Amino acid sequence: MDVAPERLARWLENFAGRHGPWTADGLVLTAEDGATAELAPPPGAPETKDVAELGRVAGEPRRIGLLLARKGAVAVGVAEGTKLVVSKVDTHYVQGRTAAGGWSQQRFARRRDNQAKAAAADGAGIAARLLLPEVRTLSALVTGGDHTAVDTILAAVPLRPLAALRSDRFLEVPEPRKTVLQDAIAQARAIRILVRDPV
């Protein structure tokens, strides 16, 4: 589950209420009934091994890059704290699969492949224009959507400095739109918590 840094203290209280008092070993909590919670800081947050400090450092404003891509759509932005300060959304038509067989199917597959490559090239261009000038100010690049589409965009040689900032966190998002990009900020700055109930 994802928890906003501002809500961490309340979440910890509720965890104790459900499972009993807990002890911490770094960012892993073990409750009285045997339940555990493993906390992961948001991308770009300073490293900490202390739960009490985690909420504070996770909530500090950071500049993060966002790159969301899915087939023919891409959304790129820069978030500062909870605000989207720079953004661009673009869509391309990429033909869906066809039921036709034989030569027609191959022709449609080639066309779809070419359309997807063109969309990725445009996505790389948008990322270069918006994110490369900001690369030294970004604490992380958070990606989401479709792994193949994102990987194809970040494979562009000029984007190597951005790829180096890429976070392990990958956001599950629908087709990128401006509202999806804005919603992604909350996911990108959340503390991720994996709870395991007692066996």
Q: Which two tokens stand for residue 137?
A: 């100010």
Q: What's the pTM?
A: 0.84
HSE-CB of 143 using CA atoms within 13 angstroms: 21
Render 114-173 in DSSP notation, one character per residue.
Answer: HHHHHHHHHHHHHHHHHHGGGGGG-SEEEEEE-HHHHHHHHTSGGGHHHHTTEEEEEE--
CATH topology of domain 65-187: Nucleotidyltransferase; domain 5 (3.30.420)
Q: What is the pLDDT of residue 104?
A: 57
What is the separation, in whole angstroms, between the first and last Cα of the chain?
Answer: 20
pLDDT tens for 90-107 read 876 444 554 455 555 665
The residue ranges of every structural domain in the chain are 2-60+190-196, 65-187
Q: State which residues of the chain have pLDDT below 70.
A: 92-120
Pair 72, 116: CB distance under 8 Å = yes
Q: Tell me: the pLDDT tens digits for 62-91?
A: 999 999 998 778 999 999 999 999 999 987
